[in-house]
Structure 1
């Protein structure tokens, strides 16, 4: 799974630029045709979210926004690759797309994590 960290404008509800949407559409179409991209979506800002915290046998429900959150996930892509290196290359291409469209001042992060299924337990 590739998780993309959100920036301040995202958390404030600003939509992505039309140029970014267009380039993302091309990237999504290409990786879907190649059979690598299985699913992708953006996530709503934390103001629209809820956290459920468990501690000491009790549950606490808190509505967003979550101002204390330092690394908010803004979107995800589930990919199926043959190797970790291939997943890293996809992540690099994805982040280069952002830098190319949004400029050198863009700051972002994509985290790549292996998913485990029921057979992996």
Structure 2
């Protein structure tokens, strides 16, 4: 499920910024600026009735600007505004609790995604047993 959600986030980012590089969880040493990093922050997973489960997943999408030092802040603010406005629906998932902060010239856009699932347990089959009643 998490990979499906991440893929939806990647697709949304590629639609908004097709020329940017997108990294998943780790940034290589010589990474390209003008890129995004998608990172899973937290997951809460609770059992509901029967085989139903509810989960809340928190993501951090970091944006690394390629602008000069004097233009980084305005570039991050522009991307922040665009992400906050367009990240309502991510594929079939709804982004909740959207927050954005700029720390050390890196934009961190954080949001939660709620989803529910039904897990199917393997079917338990009864075994037949033969009994003898000879007395």
TM range (shorter): 0.3 to 0.5
TM-score normalised by length of structure 2: 0.39
Select the structure that is richer in helix: 1
Larger Rg: 2
TM-score, normalised to structure 1's length? 0.42
